[in-house]
Amino acid sequence: MTAPITLQMVLLLGGYLALVWGLAQPMGRWLAAVADGAPTRLRRVEAGLFRLCGIDATREQGWRGYALSLLLFNALGVVAVYALQRLQAVLPLNPQALPAVAPDSALNTAISFVTNTNWQGYAGESTMSHLTQMLGLGVQNFLSAATGIAVAFALMRAFARQGTGTLGSFPVDVVRITLYVLLPLSFVLALVFAGQGVIQNFSPDVSARLIEPWLQADGSTLTTQTLPMGPVASQEAIKMLGTNGGGFMNANSSHPFENPTPWSNLLQMVVIFLIPAGLCVAFGRMVGDRRQGHALLAAMTLLFVIAVLGIMAFEQSGNPKLAALGADTAASALQPGGNMEGKEARFGIAASALFAAITTAASCGAVNAMHASLTPLAGGIAMLLMQLGEVVFGGVGSGLYGMLLFAVLAVFIAALMTGRSPEYLGKKIEPAEMKRVSIALLVTPLLVLIGTAIAVSTDAGRAGLLNPGAAGLSEVLYAFSSAANNNGSAFAGLSANTPFYNTALGIAMALGRFAVIVPVLALAGALAARKRTPRETVVGNAAALPTHGPLFIVLLVLTVLLVGALTYLPALALGPVVEHINMIH
Amino acid sequence: MHALLAHCRTALTVFLLLSVITGLAYPLVVTLAAQSLFASQTRGSLIHDRADDEGNVSGETVIGSSLIGQPFASPGHFWSRPSATAPMPYNGSASGGSNLGANNPQLLDAVRARIAALRAADPDNRAPVPVDLVTASASGLDPDISLAAAVYQSARVARARGIDITAVQTLIEQLAQRPWLGIVGEPRVNVVALNRALDAAR
């Protein structure tokens, strides 16, 4: 047996992290600048737009106003995406003449894309017209990402400001984030992807004559292959940049037209973490102490590296049952070996395992390998990354505000242990704050565990399972973990396009998004109103835990792991762990 | 009430404005720019052949994409990776993997049958079968096989074509793609390109 961690894996992971940390610095500087108000040159451009929309850019909102604006804006998104799917048959840019999407699936998809989950119960290439993809799903790729970043901006301002009732203006934030961050970066990315071979056109499908006619099981001969077409590159760019993850094609980023080369793959992986990592840096800048941002980034990186190495090792070790049948699973100069079921030859084990960790650590949910066919414990780690609350880099915006919830919790626990009053970045943490943190942290575990319990104890829930036994439980647990944490990837064996799952997962996605955002904004409101304790007092307070040092980083990592482990270990033990024992015996 | 109405009006106008910019202008501008820079890639990296089945030159026929795999079953062609697309393998309208878990009996039966088929087509070859050649890809459209999978099949292909095995191995070597610095990418070869090169050499 070869070593489960190859040299290629170590170098790929090291190079990848260097790229992410390096690019996070300029990204963070830019995000902080946008959060502080647009640079003067852009102010003139945006003034016209704001006048057009009737927005007074200088008027800020309190947390309730910010939340109300956000909810209304996202409700409009649900209505628009739902309507486009239901009406696509009579709208233009539908060269394949695709019919209207069924109501339950359409509503599920609308919620899914508005909540930045991008769970997909349907197969894109045979369900959505080009117009629905662009004007419905594509728009929400931008706007759901902008919404998440806006909430992070509001919370960052709450720490940076003091004695104020306002957090910024949601409409202004959304416009600036979209126009100054997401749009220009997506444009450049889309062109690079197109250069690598990602398609970008408005053509109907192309029929190709097969080189060798294929004799089918029923005796007939197949002579053609259908090649799907569409504006993929433009959507691919924002799909990654906004940690959306919803594929144009059913096979998502494993499809050669979405992710054609090892280089497009590397770029996709870097782009997923770009904004989540950049926001940590931006946070440090905004609170006037860059070490604070880097401490969060370090905690995320530590959790991430442990998870990646685990997934890589299990995937490279492969499935002993296949080796027993006569398959060669050893890595060599001529093949990656390992567990190649559900993987692409151009990505092999190293780049597939790394991608699987990235996409579940960030709440992206794009896949370049089929997660249902991961070895059981690798799949379990991917699941756990989501269940930790999508705070290991996490979604754009949601990763940072999720991690800040844990940071407040860690500070609170540390204060209980040392008998001092808790304080984070000079802000006193009192019952009002802790209540809001607790609500925000408890919403998703409740959704996941209750949802899974209902699904496995009803006929409608069990009807969708593909894999028998413990793997079946994993499918359901993965689905609810993915939906409630707004990830969107799947153990796709589950037939989730049924009224039961469309409804149950739709509820999980909506509450997992907005029942967290509202308490986070409420927390921001409380924090913004507080005075910052003068810095001298903080320094003089020798026993207060500095929140930029290694001790705090370890405490933060342990807090995240403790909450996640206590909540999910029993369920994981019944799913992936049982599956693993079945595999090796 | 008035405040709520103002909220709604703002939300609606911002939503419409950003929808037009990101949902219409953005993909259109990307299409124009990308198609002028990368004409072939944006249209699917299509492969054209001027001859039809009878060898008549009849305009440009699309015979595939250099990025999308095709199924092959004759002993004289390299076989692609198994594809789990339904109802037929390498169905471009329904990309996807098998989604079978590691313990699923269906997976084990399928792998057993694939190994048996490869051995039946090449009875003298007792080597273990490279794993990518008996496992379904993620997309069901994987254009590549590992170099190990190509080497494994080279004796069968040479025998079926009545050519020397070194000629086949030379072709593999010419079309082989290897990881950059041993880090980015995997050792592999494009099956459609390899089989076209074999057919052209005939």
Give A276-297 as a 3 state SS string: HHHHHHHHHHHCCCHHHHHHHH
Number of inter-chain CB pairs under 8 A, A vs B: 406
SS3 A428: strand
pLDDT tens-digit profile of A454-467? 999 999 999 888 88
Could you tell me which chain A residue has the CA closest to the CA of B132? A340
Q: How far, in Å, are A68, A209, B45, B55 from residue B50 at the CA level? A: 61, 12, 16, 9
**Are residues A129 and A21 in contact, defined by beta-carbon separation less than 8 angstroms?**
no
Q: What is the mean pLDDT of residues B190-201?
A: 95
**B55, pLDDT greater than 70:** no
Place of tokens 């104020």: A164
What percent of chain B stands above pLDDT 70? 94
> For the purposes of burial, counting CB atoms within 10 Å of the CB of A104, is it exposed (0-12), middle (13-18) or buried (19 or more)?
middle
SS3 A330: coil
Q: Can you give the residue ranges of every domain in chain B? A: 2-40, 69-201
Cα Rg of chain B (Å, integer) = 23
ipTM, two decimals, is 0.95
Does A8 contact B192 at a Cβ distance shorter than 8 Å? no
pLDDT tens-digit profile of A233-262? 999 999 999 999 988 899 999 999 999 999
- Exposure string of A16-33, with b = 16+ CB inside 10 Å and e = fewer, is bbebbbebbeebbebbbb
**Are residues B165 and B155 in contact, defined by beta-carbon separation less than 8 angstroms?**
yes
Q: How confident is the model at residue A540 (pLDDT cuts 50, 70, 90)?
A: very low
SS3 B48: strand
User: Which residue in the set A135, A336, A466 is minimally distant from B186, CB to CB?
Assistant: A336
Q: What is the mean pLDDT of residues A131-157?
A: 96
Does A335 contact B70 at a Cβ distance shorter than 8 Å? no
**A547, pLDDT greater than 60:** yes
**A192, pLDDT greater than 50:** yes
Instruction: Lowest mean pLDDT of A185-189, A355-359, A539-543, B134-138, name the range.
Output: A539-543
Q: How confident is the model at residue A26 (pLDDT cuts 50, 70, 90)?
A: very high
Most confident of A117-121, A380-384, A468-472: A380-384
**B52, pLDDT greater than 80:** no
What percent of chain A stands above pLDDT 90? 82
Mean pLDDT of chain A: 93
pLDDT of residue A464: 85
**A340, pLDDT greater than 50:** yes
Q: What are A203's two structure tokens?
A: 């053509």
Per CB-CB distance under 8 Å, the chain A contacts of B143 are: 256
Min distance B80 CA to chain A CA atoms (Å): 11
pLDDT tens-digit profile of B73-119? 999 999 999 999 989 999 999 999 999 999 999 999 999 999 999 99
- Residue A405 CA to residue A560 CA, distance in Å, equals 10
Q: What is the mean pLDDT of residues A25-29?
A: 97
- Residue A150 CA to residue A158 CA, distance in Å, equals 12
Min distance A126 CA to chain B CA atoms (Å): 7
Residue to test with chain A: of B80, B99, B114, B147, most A Cβ within 10 A: B99
Question: In A295-420, at which residue ranges do the beta strands (DSSP E only) sit?
Answer: 327-328
Closest C-alpha among A168, A129, A127, A162 to residue A37: A168
**Are residues B90 and B141 in contact, defined by beta-carbon separation less than 8 angstroms?**
yes
- Residue A202 CA to residue A63 CA, distance in Å, equals 43
Does B67 contact A256 at a Cβ distance shorter than 8 Å? yes
Of A534 and A427, which is predicted with more confidence? Answer: A427
**A140, pLDDT greater than 50:** yes
pLDDT of residue B59: 59
Q: How confident is the model at residue A44 (pLDDT cuts 50, 70, 90)?
A: confident
Pairing of β B129-130 and β A327-328: parallel
pLDDT of residue B126: 92
Q: What are A162's two structure tokens?
A: 């003091």
What are the φ and ψ backbone dihedral angles of B88, each rounded to 5 degrees?
-125, 155
User: Which residue in the set A211, A233, A582 is minimally distant from B64, CB to CB?
Assistant: A211
Does A345 contact B12 at a Cβ distance shorter than 8 Å? no
**Are residues A284 and A293 in contact, defined by beta-carbon separation less than 8 angstroms?**
yes
pLDDT tens-digit profile of A495-507? 889 999 999 999 9
Min distance B49 CA to chain A CA atoms (Å): 10
Q: How confident is the model at residue A1 (pLDDT cuts 50, 70, 90)?
A: very low
How many CB atoms neighbour CB A332 within 10 A?
A: 14
Place of tokens 């444009």: A187
- Residue A192 CA to residue A194 CA, distance in Å, equals 5
Q: What is the mean pLDDT of residues A403-427?
A: 92
pLDDT tens-digit profile of A167-178? 999 999 999 999
Q: How confident is the model at residue B56 (pLDDT cuts 50, 70, 90)?
A: low
pLDDT tens-digit profile of A153-165? 999 999 999 999 8
pLDDT tens-digit profile of A470-483? 888 999 999 999 99
Q: How confident is the model at residue A536 (pLDDT cuts 50, 70, 90)?
A: very low
pLDDT of residue B113: 97
**B202, pLDDT greater than 80:** no
Per CB-CB distance under 8 Å, the chain A contacts of B45 are: 197, 260
Min distance B167 CA to chain A CA atoms (Å): 19
**Are residues A120 and A43 in contact, defined by beta-carbon separation less than 8 angstroms?**
no
SS3 B129: strand
What are the φ and ψ backbone dihedral angles of A509, each rounded to 5 degrees?
-65, -45
Q: Which amino acid, one-letter code, is at A50? A: F
Q: For residues A106, A112, A115 and A116, what is the CA-based torsion angle, rounded to 10 degrees?
A: -130
Min distance B69 CA to chain A CA atoms (Å): 9
Instruction: Lowest mean pLDDT of A190-194, A267-271, A386-390, B70-74, name the range.
Output: A386-390
**Are residues B135 and B86 in contact, defined by beta-carbon separation less than 8 angstroms?**
no
